[in-house]
Structure formats: C-alpha cells, structure tokens
Amino acid sequence: MKAIQEYMKHKPCLRGQILDRGELKRVAQACGLSPQEARSELKRLGFTLTKNHHGLRIWKKQQEEDAVISMSES
C-alpha cells in the first residue's frame, strides 16, 4: 500500500490540496485505499476539509492555512 504522503511528494500538481470528490478518489485508488480510508489518512496527516472560493470541498494542509492567516494579519 502506497502512503498518501509519499504519493503527494511525487505529484507537485496537488500542492498540498486535494478536491474531496474525484481527485480524492484517484489518490485513494493509487494508494490502494478506499476514499473513506484516504480521508482518515488526510486527517491524520494534518489536512482539514474546507471549501474553496468556488464552494467546492477541498482538503488543505493546516500549516498552509495558518501561514495565510498570519500573513493577512500583518
């Protein structure tokens, strides 16, 4: 089973964010996981489920969100 973290290292197009539907299914399939297992793994890796500016559900790395918030407060 291929870990999601390792998979994302080799996919720079994901850039620390994954759309919750089709993109998540492709990542899960590539890692030998079900979509639900992939969601659990993303939570464990520090990703949070949010909505982007188009209203789509997206998994984002928590550290990136904190950096954006701290930059906007400065």
Asked if residue 28 lies in contact with residue 34, where contact means CB atoms within 8 angstroms, the answer is yes
Domains and CATH numbers, the chain: 4-73 (1.10.10)
Prediction pTM value: 0.74
Task: Locate 38 and state its tokens.
Answer: 């992939």
- Looking at residue 13, what is its pLDDT? 82
Q: For the segment 43-63, what is each residue's pLDDT rounded down to a tens digit?
A: 998 999 999 999 999 999 876
Closest of 60, 52, 73, 67 to residue 8, by C-alpha: 60
Q: For the segment 9-38, what is each residue's pLDDT rounded down to a tens digit?
A: 888 887 788 999 989 999 999 999 999 999
